[in-house]
Structures are given as structure tokens and as C-alpha cells.
Amino acid sequence: MSPLGRLYGLGIGPGDPELLTLKAHRILTTVPVIAYPTLENGKVLARAIVADFIRPDQIEIPMPLPFSVERSSQPYYDIAADKIAEQLSLGRDVAVLCVGDPMLYGSFMYIFNRLAGRFAIEVVPGISSVMASAAMLGVPITYRNDVFSIMPGTLEADILRDRLSKVDAAAIIKLGRHFAKVRDILLELGLLNRALYIERATLPNQKIIPITEVDPEAVTYWSLILVPSTTQPQ
């Protein structure tokens, strides 16, 4: 019986292929099998980021996921985990590509939770879009004793208002159709003048737009609002 393969959760960063770590690059270019989420509407960001690094002889496992949040993704992850387990059982290492970092709101965690215990798993951290956005915007996020919160724009308004009122700096992710709600809460809390908007950070089509000029209808999932700290550095 051949030994089992190893499963890698590979953080590939926010979009610029040069923001892969040396370790993620090494693993990506040496494993026999790669897997990556694809959305039903055909968008495949993870694979596109690392397209230039993929070898023709690598086995690819696309993992279709429902685009609509109303549809349960559970059966999709079950199918993907089964396909990955099949390759691991054949003794092949499998790298699951994760945009950003695998442990922070990543889809890898659903594969991780299905296969942990059965196979050896190694997680390689990746650059989160949050840190990448701060770098691209050119603004320090936090100093010294600041509290920094990352929260999804999908939260209910009351929760968002409460959480945003208690932190020194914040990143609001997963904006999409929730942009107008988030913007209005920031205005109400007196935070809108500090808030910065960025789309597709580090990708060739990255956009930085003054937040008051953003068209709420045009905001995608791959956008983020950063509210940097106002702590005065010495």
C-alpha cells in the first residue's frame, strides 16, 4: 500500500502572483495535484492568480461552488473533498489554492474540516487582502494599543454599528450589495471621512475611489473599506 498524500492549504495572496510566499511557490510548483474553487458563473480567480506557475502535467481539480449565498454549499464541498481524498489515497500530495489566507474566511476550511484526521494537512499562510489593501492605499492600519477588527459587510446593521463603534481601526470585507448600508453606518458614526475604498487590491484592474464617489451598484465582492487608526504616531 502506498503512503497517503499530504494535503496543503495554500494561501496564494490577494491577486498579484508576486505576493505568493516562497513556500507557497515551492509547493505549488512541485505537487502533482492542485485543486481550486470555481464559481458556478465561471469566475476562477484562484487559478488565474497562479496560472503562470502551473505545469501542464499537474492534475487539476476544479471545485465548483454556488455563487448565490442562498444555495447551500455543503454538497459542493462534499464532492470536492471526495475528489481530493481520492488523490490523497493514491499517495499524491494535493495543494488547495486559497485566495488570501486559508484560515481567514477561506473556503479551504470546509475542505480542512472534512479531511482533518484522515490525512496529514499543512496550512501555508497567505497575504490577506486586508494587509494588501493597506499597502496599496499607503496607510498604516494600527499603532501601539489599537484594536483592529475585520468584519463582513454582510452583517446586520445593528451589529455592524455596535462593532464599528468600539474599535480603533477596521476593515469591512465582502461588501458587494451591502456597500450602501456600510457607508451609511460609517457616516452616522463619524467614520466616513477616515474610510478608504479599494477594489481588487494588487490586481491589474485595481481601483481606489473616494468613498463618497463609489457607485453602490458597481461594488463587487472583491472590494474592501479600510478605516485606519487615528492614533498619532510619535
Cβ proximity to a copy of itself, 60 vs 162, nearer residue: 162
Specify the stretch interacting with a copy of itself by CB under 8 A; choose among 39-47, 79-87, 157-165, 205-213: 157-165
DSSP state for residue 125 in the 8-state scheme = -
Among 88, 96, 99, 155, binds a copy of itself (CB under 8 A): 155
Note whether 105 binds a copy of itself by CB under 8 A: yes
Specify the stretch interacting with a copy of itself by CB under 8 A; choose among 32-40, 87-95, 146-154, 176-184: 146-154
Please list every residue from 47 through 76 that binds a copy of itself, using CB under 8 A: 72-74
Pair 50, 28: CB distance under 8 Å: yes
Pair 115, 85: CB distance under 8 Å: yes
Note whether 140 binds a copy of itself by CB under 8 A: yes
CB of 197 to a copy of itself, least distance (A): 17
CB of 92 to a copy of itself, least distance (A): 21
Instruction: Look at the block and give the residue holding cell 484526521.
Output: 117
CB of 138 to a copy of itself, least distance (A): 7
Q: Which three cell numbers stand for residue 17?
A: 502572483
CB of 110 to a copy of itself, least distance (A): 6
DSSP state for residue 137 in the 8-state scheme = H
SS3 212: helix
Size of the site for a copy of itself (CB under 8 A): 65
Q: In the sheet that 59-65 helps form, which strands lie side by side, from edge to edge?
A: 59-65, 33-39, 94-98, 7-11, 121-124
Instruction: Look at the block and give the residue holding cell 463619524.
Output: 190
Pair 220, 199: CB distance under 8 Å: yes
Among 121, 189, 192, 203, binds a copy of itself (CB under 8 A): 121
Report the alpha-carbon distance of residue 121 to residue 81 in Å, rounded: 13
Report the alpha-carbon distance of residue 43 to residue 100 in Å, rounded: 16
Among 3, 42, 190, 233, binds a copy of itself (CB under 8 A): 233
Q: Both ends of the chain: CA-CA distance in Å?
A: 63
Residues in contact with a copy of itself by the rule CB under 8 A: 9, 11, 13-14, 16-23, 25-26, 72-74, 77, 101-106, 109-110, 112-113, 116, 121, 123-128, 131-132, 134-136, 138-152, 154-155, 159, 162-163, 166-167, 233-234
